[in-house]
């Protein structure tokens, strides 16, 4: 399954994180630094596994409990973004 930022989203990296504008709904969203990092990985890597493993490398330092939490947080975040139609997931 591949992840893709929806065409209806205009976004920009800012000092605080990432700012999004959804053309379809007219809603603005601001992502904090952690969410923004996931967002950038969706843009560059476009798949769940590489996103989780890159974040684990960056933040877990081999600690499996932290890795598990990162995986859960990423899944949660992606779930919300897909539900809000800001991100699309397609068969690869």
CB of 26 to other proteins, least distance (A): 6
Can you read off the two tokens belonging to residue 54?
Answer: 């890159």
Please say which residue, 42 or 60, places its beta carbon nearer to other proteins. Answer: 42
CB of 85 to other proteins, least distance (A): 12
Q: Can you give the three-state secondary structure of 15-36, one letter per residue?
A: CCCEEEEECCCCEEEEECHHHH
Could you list the residues that contact other proteins (CB under 8 A)? Answer: 5, 7-12, 14, 19, 21, 23-24, 26, 28, 30
Please say which residue, 29 or 53, places its beta carbon nearer to other proteins. Answer: 29
Please say which residue, 60 or 81, places its beta carbon nearer to other proteins. Answer: 81
Cα(43)–Cα(47) distance, integer angstroms: 9
Rounded to 5°, the CA angle 32-35-36 comes to 75
């Amino acid at each position: 399954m591949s992840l893709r930022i929806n065409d209806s989203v205009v976004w920009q990296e800012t000092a605080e994180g990432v700012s999004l504008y959804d053309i379809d709904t007219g809603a603005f969203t601001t992502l904090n630094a952690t969410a923004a990092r996931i967002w950038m990985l969706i843009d560059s890597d476009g798949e769940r596994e590489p996103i989780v493993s890159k974040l684990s490398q960056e933040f877990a330092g081999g600690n499996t409990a932290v890795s598990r939490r990162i995986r859960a947080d990423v899944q949660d975040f992606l779930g919300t973004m897909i539900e809000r139609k800001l991100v699309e997931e397609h068969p690869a």
